[in-house]
């Protein structure tokens, strides 16, 4: 029996098997334990002799079990160390770093500049009511300006009203004025849509709207704000601005703003060079628009402006082709995008 048990202990392939051997020999119902229990019928002398012998066997088996346990534990540890080994000499995996899209970057820069001037950011949905996109902005149903906008119309909304993909960010003016009270000082960047596609037009593009309503607000505030913004954004200290009379149904008077540039030798430079480039539309908010939004136009005045984001991003970062903004070409993004 002893030889059997010693052989079993030595052969146990792992700690669980070794424990089985121990229970089989020395457990409560183990074979050695059983032999010890059987000593009751012996004479005292026989019992002493038998007891000593069995204790010696028990001791020997215990030692054999302990020895085997040490070996198995060491093996298990060695295996674990091997399995979890890290080869610190392997080259690192190449990091695939993303880029910030020039549109996102440009919007962030614009928000930062206007935030310094006390503007907060307002938002509106891409799907607008005909009322917010046109009617409240003093563009009645038969107004020719609606055709200029090449509107994408959607099936009527749940209230039966006409819905459109907003053709400009100006409906955010209406939402802001309807939802709050003057004074107001907001910008609203976002996606806009017109049914148009060629080298300089994509059906989806971005605008940023500005709206300021207060007491005694006048064109001087509009000029000062836009001059400050353009010089900060294009980082040209003496960049000149030219306000050209224009027309928008929702502003009176209205103007288009040009920035100074030079186009000599096909290369575009921004600054005081005598040539001009149009970048935005603006004007004093039409009293009818204020009244459409429940604002007393005898007490409050304001100005608004709207600017195409792709257009100024192309100017600032020398991106030659509008359509590439939306092609999701990773090589383009790596070239023109920004490290986060
Ligand atoms: N919404 C006009 C456009 O899309 C721009 C504009 C905004 C003009 C605000 C005046 C005031 O062209």
This model of the complex carries an ipTM of 0.98
Ligand 1 mean position, distance from CA 132 (Å): 14
Query: What pLDDT does 333 receive?
Result: 96
Ligand 1 mean position, distance from CA 282 (Å): 6
Averaged pLDDT of the chain: 93
Q: What number does the ligand 1 atom closest to the CA of 169 have?
A: 1
Nearest in space to 167 (alpha carbons), one of 186, 143, 183: 143
Q: What number does the ligand 1 atom closest to the CA of 282 have?
A: 10
Q: Is pLDDT at 92 greater than 90 in this prediction?
A: no
Mutational pocket test of ligand 1: of 281, 309, 311, 312, the residue with most ligand atoms within 8 Å of the beta carbon: 281
- Between residues 51 and 136, the one the model is more confident about: 136
DSSP 8-state code for residue 201 = B
Query: What pLDDT does 39 receive?
Result: 84
| Per-range mean pLDDT, top range of 16-30, 134-148, 156-170, 312-326 | 312-326
CB 153 within 8 A of CB 166: no
Q: Which residues are annotated as a binding site for Mg(2+)?
A: 252
Q: Which residues are annotated as a binding site?
A: 252
Least trusted range by pLDDT, from 31-45, 112-126, 224-238:
31-45
Residue nearest to atom 10 of ligand 1 (CA): 282
Q: What number does the ligand 1 atom closest to the CA of 168 have?
A: 4
Least trusted range by pLDDT, from 37-41, 108-112, 258-262, 296-300:
37-41
Q: Is pLDDT at 165 greater than 80 in this prediction?
A: yes
DSSP 102-158: HHHHHHHHHHHHHHHTT-EE----SEEEHHHHTGGGT--TT-THHHHTT--EE---T
248 CB under 6 A from ligand 1?
yes
Query: What pLDDT does 34 receive?
Result: 86
Residue nearest to atom 4 of ligand 1 (CA): 168
Distance CA 279, CA 49 (A): 112
304 CB under 6 A from ligand 1?
yes
Query: What pLDDT does 276 receive?
Result: 95
Query: What pLDDT does 8 receive?
Result: 87
**Mean pLDDT of all residues in 240-258:** 97
Ligand 1 mean position, distance from CA 314 (Å): 19
Q: What is the pLDDT of residues 252-298, one digit of tens each?
A: 999 999 999 999 988 889 999 999 999 999 999 999 999 999 999 99
Query: What pLDDT does 202 receive?
Result: 96
Ligand 1 mean position, distance from CA 278 (Å): 13
Q: What is the bridge-based pairing of β-strands 184-193 and 120-121? A: parallel
What phi, psi does 49 have (nearest 5°)? Answer: -60, -50
Ligand 1 mean position, distance from CA 154 (Å): 22
CB 256 within 8 A of CB 248: no
Contacts of 256 (CB under 8 A, 6+ apart): 243, 244, 246, 278, 280, 281, 282
Considering the chain, what percentage of its residues have pLDDT values greater than 90?
71
Nearest in space to 194 (alpha carbons), one of 259, 160, 145: 145
Distance CA 134, CA 129 (A): 8
Q: What is the pLDDT of residues 192-240, one digit of tens each?
A: 999 999 989 999 999 999 999 999 999 999 999 999 999 999 999 999 9
Report H helices in 149-210. Answer: 171-179
Q: Name the band, by pLDDT with cuts 50, 70 and 90, for residue 316.
A: very high
Query: What pLDDT does 331 receive?
Result: 95
CB 253 within 8 A of CB 285: no
306 CB under 6 A from ligand 1?
yes
Handedness of CA 148, 283, 233, 175 (dihedral sign): negative
Q: Name the band, by pLDDT with cuts 50, 70 and 90, for residue 133.
A: very high
Lookup: tokens for 81: 């160390």
Residue nearest to atom 2 of ligand 1 (CA): 306
170 CB under 6 A from ligand 1?
yes
Ligand 1 mean position, distance from CA 280 (Å): 8
**Mean pLDDT of all residues in 171-194:** 98
Q: Is 12 helix (H, G, I), strand (E, B) or coil?
A: coil
282 CB under 6 A from ligand 1?
yes
281 CB under 6 A from ligand 1?
yes
Q: What is the pTM for the complete model shown?
A: 0.74
Q: Which helix (H) or strand (E) holds 219?
A: helix 219-234
Ligand 1 mean position, distance from CA 125 (Å): 17
Residue nearest to atom 7 of ligand 1 (CA): 306
Mutational pocket test of ligand 1: of 136, 151, 168, the residue with most ligand atoms within 8 Å of the beta carbon: 168
Beta-bridge partner residues of 208? 189, 307
Ligand 1 mean position, distance from CA 203 (Å): 17
Distance CA 224, CA 113 (A): 14
Lookup: tokens for 54: 């069995």
DSSP 8-state code for residue 92 = P
Spatial strand order of the sheet with 127-129 comes to 127-129, 163-165, 153-154
Distance CA 34, CA 39 (A): 9
Q: Name the band, by pLDDT with cuts 50, 70 and 90, for residue 307.
A: very high
Residue where the block lists tokens 């090449």 = 150
């Amino acid at each position: 029996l002893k030889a059997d048990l010693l052989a079993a202990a030595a052969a146990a392939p792992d700690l669980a098997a070794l424990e089985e051997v121990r229970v089989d020999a020395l457990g409560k119902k183990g074979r050695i334990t059983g032999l010890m229990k059987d000593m009751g019928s012996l004479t005292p002398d026989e019992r002493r002799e038998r007891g000593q012998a069995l204790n010696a066997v028990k001791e020997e088996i215990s030692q054999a079990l302990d020895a085997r346990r040490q070996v198995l534990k060491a093996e298990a540890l060695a295996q674990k160390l091997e399995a979890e080994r890290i080869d610190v000499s392997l080259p690192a995996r190449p990091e695939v770093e993303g880029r910030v899209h020039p549109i996102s970057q440009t919007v962030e820069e614009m928000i930062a500049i206007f935030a310094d001037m006390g503007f907060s950011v307002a938002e509106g949905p891409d799907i607008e009511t005909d009322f917010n996109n046109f009617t409240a902005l003093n563009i009645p149903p038969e107004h020719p300006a609606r055709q200029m906008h090449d509107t994408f119309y959607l099936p009527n909304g749940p209230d039966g009203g006409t819905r459109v993909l907003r053709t400009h960010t100006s409906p955010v003016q209406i939402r802001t004025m309807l939802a709050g009270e003057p004074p107001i000082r907001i910008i609203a960047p976002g996606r806009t849509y017109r049914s148009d596609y060629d080298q300089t037009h994509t059906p989806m593009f971005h605008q940023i709207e500005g709206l300021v309503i207060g007491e005694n607000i006048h064109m001087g505030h509009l000029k000062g704000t836009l001059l400050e913004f353009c010089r900060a954004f294009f980082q040209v200290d003496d960049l000149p601005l030219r306000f050209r009379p224009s027309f928008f149904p929702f502003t009176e008077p209205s103007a288009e703003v040009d920035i100074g540039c030079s186009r000599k030798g096909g290369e575009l430079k921004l600054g005081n060079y005598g040539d001009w480039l149009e970048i935005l539309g603006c004007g004093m908010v039409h009293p009818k628009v204020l009244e459409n939004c429940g604002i007393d136009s005898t007490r409050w005045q304001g100005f608004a402006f709207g600017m195409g984001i792709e257009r100024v991003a192309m100017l600032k970062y020398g991106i030659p082709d509008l359509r590439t903004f939306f092609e999701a070409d990773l090589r383009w993004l790596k070239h023109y995008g920004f490290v986060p």
